[in-house]
Structure 1
Amino acid sequence: MEQQYLQKPIGGTYMDINNNSAQKIDLDYILERGVADYSDGDIVIFEHLGGKSVDGSVKLDMIMMVYCVKGRMQCDVNGKTYTANAGEVMIGLPNNVYSNYMISPDFESRIFGLSYAAAERNMRINRDVLDLIGYVATNPVISLDDERQALVTKYYSIIAHKIKSPHGYFHKEIMHSLFQCAMYELFAIIAPHVQYSHDGGETKQANLLFRKFADLLSANEGKVRSVKRYADELCITPKYLSFVSKTVTGKTALEWIHQSTVKNIERYLSHSNMSIKEIADILEFPNLSFFGKFTKSHLGVSPTEYRRQQSMKNKNL
């Protein structure tokens, strides 16, 4: 591609993939640059990255979807060059490193971001999702046909309207629903291209192993918190299970185990009349004190306080 066509790096600075200190890009970073049209702590919507300089390479700590409305953009993703033209979406995944970002003078875009935490809460990790993520990891540019380009435009028009009229009940929920609809439209485009075969290849074997781990996590409902226990069930070493988990998802096996437990703690505290001790017992914590410390370290408050906050929130709604 001709250099004179793609002539605008971020802030006038080309990003160097050889720079080991990659700038982390997350929702807080976007907000600090003052370019967000909408943000609620989980999702962010904006049209450009602004004029402040970004030195070196950048690493995503969020999911970012850049819809190219006009012109084109080019960047290196983990050292490999990709180009998105008008009518295409470039999807960025957490832990990907981006460098040598350039855009054409007439470039226009719509950018949607989803925090890592929100993605973990809202996307159930199953075989289909893992296969989709695996495909996007090596094929980050998705072409939209005319019909889906029109759909994305309509979604954005509705979202833009809601941004301008933020008042009313369930505003955040409505924004998240619109965002999820747009994501599923992308999933529908990607799905036919994904190979769901689970035999052969180190990557497929790693994905298959993690799927089995995810199935065990779901079945145990947060009760088992030992990496060794899961590794024994899968007939592998704890170190290898964590390696596979980190390779496939960017998170260690212990992080996934703790996330599963926290989700179940939230569920019991928010949607059951069980006492704190009963919840600790059903999740097989050794004692109430350990349960309280675990909950506070992950949710920021004690189990009693978390239940009180959820009760107040429901009353306000």
Structure 2
Amino acid sequence: MDTVNKDKKERKVDFNLIADSGVADYSDGDIIVIDKLGVKPINENIKLDMILMVFCTKGRMQCDINEKTYMANAGDVIICLPNSYLSNYLISPDFESHIIGLSYSASQRKISLTSDALDIFSYVAQNPIVHLDAERQVLMSKYYSMISHKINNPHGLFHKEIMHGIFECAFYELCALISPHIQYEFGGGNIKQANLIFKKFIDELSKNEGRMRSVKFYAERLCITPKYLSFISKSVSQKTALYWVHDYTMKAIVRYLKYSNMSIKEISEKLEFPNLSFFGKFTKGHLGVSPTEFRKRQSIKKEGQ
């Protein structure tokens, strides 16, 4: 790897210093964009006075952040918060990256310091490398492509606002990726946010008592997207959100077929299926037999006991 930083002098690096160095492809007073790292390297140990996100697209980078050594590979994002100390950074000869920075003053204006945001910042301070899966690598590349397009086509109304909007979308995508790994206090012990969301999902399923609902319905109840709910469910339980929706509905169907005197039509209506035909197909798809046949077999079993 090529050594980029050798000196042990300390230097405060803020938005204005990088903007004045001439390495930026874009700067508007709040956001700065650099397409290549190391064009004019800063040869001191540095203290950041801004938020810096480095999306590694090729090669690898090693860096000490707050006296701890980290390695970032292609597909990783390095997030450095204000007051972070960086030193001893090395890059491989083929290293390529996209860098986006947010000034300290802009970060205070734009990022609402909710409890969730504070938890995420606390996590990032200890875990500055975010590993992106293939899907999110593509997504981050698309965000950067939009930023690059706007840099190359700077004319038009609301140019700065559009740039800020794209940055904020990319930033919150990373926050969404980070949030399931955060530890929370719950019930006297530590629990990951993913587990907490999954528990709330199961609670909603229980309260709904098996009524036919979509994954979207539960996602809206939890104020998250259906895709994120499915991701959480798969991460925690190794089963999809749709599996659990169907599982709770089928448990209710079996319970009513076995222990109630309701007709098939009444069960279908109670569980709010759109029609009796769909209820029959749904039940047969899970039990292998029609609701009528299932109930008949249960009666035979009782008589044989």
Counterpart contact for 1:15–1:101, Cα < 8 Å: no
What is residue 181 of structure 2 aligned with on the other side? 193
**In structure 1, which of residues 73, 85, 91 is the aligned counterpart of residue 79 of structure 2?**
91
Counterpart contact for 1:25–1:59, Cα < 8 Å: yes
**In structure 2, which of residues 111, 123, 129 is the aligned counterpart of residue 123 of structure 1?**
111
CA distance in 2, matches of 1:53, 1:68: 17
Counterpart contact for 2:47–2:85, Cα < 8 Å: yes
Counterpart contact for 2:61–2:72, Cα < 8 Å: yes
Matched ranges for 1:156-195 at <5 A: 156-195=144-183
Compared CA separation, residues 104 and 130, structure 1 to 2 (3 A): same
Runs of 4+ in structure 1 deviating by more than 6 angstroms, as ranges, are 198-201
What is residue 48 of structure 2 aligned with on the other side? 60
Compared CA separation, residues 46 and 95, structure 1 to 2 (3 A): same
CA distance in 1, matches of 2:184, 2:117: 11
TM normalised by structure 2 equals 0.59
CA distance in 2, matches of 1:187, 1:144: 12
2:64 paired with 1:69: no
Q: Give how far 1:15 is off.
A: 4.3
CA distance in 1, matches of 2:163, 2:41: 30
Q: Give how far 1:150 is off.
A: 0.4
Counterpart contact for 1:15–1:54, Cα < 8 Å: no
- Structure 2, unpaired ranges of 5+: 191-305
Identity %: 56
Matched ranges for 1:1-317 at <5 A: 6-9=1-4, 13-16=5-8, 19=9, 22-52=10-40, 54-197=42-185
Compared CA separation, residues 186 and 61, structure 1 to 2 (3 A): same
CA distance in 1, matches of 2:118, 2:62: 26
- Summarize deviations over 1:174-198 as a string: whole Å, max 9, x none: 0000000000110011000011228
SS of 1:172's equivalent?
A: helix
Q: Which moved more, 1:26-35 or 1:129-138?
A: 26-35
Q: Give how far 1:51 is off.
A: 4.1
Q: Give how far 1:58 is off.
A: 0.2
Counterpart contact for 2:23–2:40, Cα < 8 Å: no
Q: Aligned partner of 2:118: which letter?
A: L
SS of 2:87's equivalent?
A: strand
**What root-mean-square deviation, in Å, do the aligned CA atoms of Structure 1 and Structure 2 show?**
1.8
- Structure 1, unpaired ranges of 5+: 1-5, 202-317
CA distance in 2, matches of 1:193, 1:50: 32
TM normalised by structure 1 equals 0.57
Q: Which moved more, 1:188-197 or 1:130-139?
A: 188-197
Counterpart contact for 2:23–2:39, Cα < 8 Å: no
Q: Give how far 1:14 is off.
A: 1.6
Counterpart contact for 2:30–2:102, Cα < 8 Å: yes
CA distance in 1, matches of 2:54, 2:40: 19
Number of matched residues? 189
Counterpart contact for 1:8–1:105, Cα < 8 Å: no
CA distance in 1, matches of 2:6, 2:91: 11
